[in-house]
Structure 1
Amino acid sequence: MQPLKMLNNVQKARLLHSLLIQEIPEFLGYLNELTETVLNDKERIKSEWNDQMINPDFWFELAEQVQKVMAKYPKQLYKSTNVFADQLFDGYTAIFTIHGLTQYVALSKNTDPKFKPAVELLFT
C-alpha cells in the first residue's frame, strides 16, 4: 500500500468504501439530498455565493453530474467499491462529493463513530 499522501481521491474513496461500507448508504442518501437542495435553491445560493475559486454555475453543474451518477448506478454505488470511487471521486465531480462527505461528518450525520475520523484522515 502507498503512503497516504501519495493516494489520489479515487484511491482514498476505495479505501473508505471498503473499510466502512455500512455507512455508505446513509452517506449516499445525504449526498442525494444535498444535490437536490443545491439544484432547487439556485437563486438563493447565487445571491449568497462568495467562493472566488468556483463559479456558482459550475457548482450547479457538479451537483447535476453527481445526481446523474446516482441515478445511473443506484445499487452499484453501495455494492461496488470501484463504482463508488470511480464515479463519485474522479475528476471535478470529486469537488462536490468531497464537500458532501465533509459536510456529512461535520453535521454528525454518520452513525459509525469511525467514519468521521476516517473521512478527516483521508480527505481533509
Structure 2
Amino acid sequence: MPMLLEDISLFCEDFKANKQHYRKGWDSGFMSFDYWQNLAGETAGILKRHKVNMLRSSRVFSDQLYFTYTSLFVTNRIVKYAAKGSQNEKFKQAVNLLFNP
C-alpha cells in the first residue's frame, strides 16, 4: 500500500506540473481532460490529508478514495501501477482479475 499511494501521489504531481503535455495526448472520449485533471487534484488533496491513516487502515483508503468519482481516477492508477510499477505478483494478479476483462 505505501508504494501504491506514493505512485498515485507522484503521478498527481506530475500530471499537474505537465498538464499541457498530458492535454496534447488526451484521447479519452469517456471524459474531458479538465474533469480528469479535477479528479487528479481531488485525489492529491485527499492523499495529503489522509495518507497516514490510509497506510494504517484499508477502510480509510476505501472511504476516502472510493466515495466519489475519484474512484475512477484511483482505479485507473491502480491498474497502471500493477502493470508497470508493482513487483508483487499477487497484487498484479488480483488487479488483473478485478479490473481487466
Q: TM-score, normalised by structure 1?
A: 0.76
Q: Percent identity?
A: 28
Measured after TM superposition, the shift of residue 91 of structure 1 is 2.3
Counterpart Cα distance in 1 of 2:25 and 2:13: 18
- Separation of aligned partners in 2, 1:123 and 1:85: 16
Give the CA deviation at 1:110.
1.5
Higher Rg of the two aligned structures: 1
Number of aligned residue pairs: give it: 100
Q: Deviations over 1:20-79 (max 9, x none)?
A: xxxx00100101111111111111111221111110000110000110010001211111
How far is 1:105 from its partner? 1.0
2:6 aligned with 1:29: yes
Structure 2: segments with no counterpart, 5+ residues: none
**Structure 2 counterpart of 1:106, which letter?**
A
Task: Give the secondary-structure state (helix, strand or coil) at the position aligned to 2:23.
Answer: helix
Q: Tell me, what secondary structure is at the counterpart of 1:74?
A: helix
Structure with a larger share of its residues in helix: 2
Q: In the alignment, what sits opposite 2:91? A: 115
In the TM superposition, residue 90 of structure 1 has moved relative to its aligned partner by: 2.5
Higher relative contact order (CA 8 A, sep 6+): 1
Greater mean deviation of Cα atoms: 28-37 or 82-91: 82-91
Moved over 3 A (4+): none
Kindly report the root-mean-square deviation, in angstroms, between the aligned alpha carbons of the 2 structures: 1.1
Amino acid at match of 2:98: L
